[in-house]
Amino acid sequence: MDYNYHTHTYRCGHANGSDEEYILRAIDGGIKHMGFSDHAPFMFPDGYEIDCHMQMADAKGYFESINALRKKYADKIDIAIGFEMEYMPSHFDKMLENVKNIGAEYLILGQHYIADGYPDAIGSGSIKESEERFFTYVDSVCSGIESGVFSYLAHPDMAKFTGSDEIYRAGMKRICQCSLENNIPVEINFLGIRDGRFYPNPRFWEIAKEVGCPVTFGLDAHTPKDAYDGDSLKVAEWFVRKYKLNYIGKPDIISIQ
Ligand SMILES: [Zn+2]
Ligand SMILES: [Zn+2]
């Protein structure tokens, strides 16, 4: 694995280390193509900013720091600067305009909330048995994929739906088909592996296998040592073999500039 487009920084408030430490660790692990994708800043119309995302006031420093480092290490590693962002239906046009204006080169889709994320924030991890919430997640993700601006879908299986298999299959099949039709890969998320979370969820990857949608890997580093992760890589490769996934390797990065 010589690529990783899922890297956070301390600016989101729940990651640590310096930007340079992430880069040094990635170079050490043999990463040649790296992307910073911190949680995208956005100011809602009433001035509110989600506190587990980067704040607008820190965006300038993010680009300055990583731009300087990419020059410094240009002979060792390719670095792209972007964001991980939700598809929030009521705000999406403004969110996109905002990240383009502040200089983002690419985006990955990380749907941590089922819809608008504010003021009625419902986490994708707390869908529970609600079919309505689950399908809201599915709709948001599919709209995000269809927008054509996201290079891939991070942790597609982050939706924690505890209802029937039949409903889960129907929703996730739509996401996998959307991924296949738009040629936007879904990610096996290494943070989920590392932390023993409920994703990667076998229930999801069984469906991805049937649909044959493109699959990529993402380290989701929130601390420098995770900017390479050989142990989780073995598990991710096991998923690819076990479910005979359509693993494409490095994703094609869609430029939004
Ligand atoms: Zn995070
Ligand atoms: Zn995420």
pLDDT tens-digit readout, 183-224? 999 999 999 999 999 999 999 999 999 999 999 999 999 999
User: Relative to the alpha carbon of 112, which ligand is closest?
Assistant: 2
Expressed in angstroms and rounded, the spacing between residue 167 Cα and the centre of ligand 2 is: 24
Is there a contact between 158 and 124 (Cβ–Cβ < 8 Å)? yes
Q: What is the pLDDT of residue 185?
A: 98
CA distance linking residue 26 with residue 28, whole number of Å: 5
Residue 186 domain flag: yes
What are φ and ψ of residue 74, in 5° steps?
-60, -30
Asked if the structure places residue 177 within a domain, the reply is yes
Q: Within a domain: residue 255?
A: no
- What's residue 83's pLDDT? 98
Distance of CA 181 from the midpoint of ligand 2 (Å):
23
Query: Measured in angstroms, how far is the CA atom of residue 191 from the centroid of ligand 1?
Result: 10
**Domain region containing 124:** 3-247
- For the record, the structure tokens of 156 come out as 């597609």
Report if residue 103 sits inside a domain.
Answer: yes
**Residue 189 counted as domain residue:** yes
Instruction: Please give the distance, rounded to the nearest whole angstrom, from the Cα atom of residue 166 to the centre of ligand 1.
Output: 30
110-137: average pLDDT: 95
**CATH number, residue 67:** 3.20.20.140
Residue 3: closest CA among 29, 24, 32? 32
Residue 256 has which token pair? 């939004």
In a domain, 254, yes or no: no
pTM of the model: 0.97
Q: Is position 34 within any domain? A: yes
Q: Does residue 65 belong to any structural domain of this protein?
A: yes
> What is the count of structural domains for the chain?
1
Mean pLDDT of 144-166: 97
Distance 242 CA to ligand 1 centre (A): 28
Strands 3-4 and 33-39: parallel
Say what the pLDDT of residue 112 is.
97
Cβ-count burial of 203 within 10 angstroms (0-12 exposed, 13-18 middle, 19+ buried)? Answer: middle
Q: Which residue has the tokens 């048995």?
A: 129
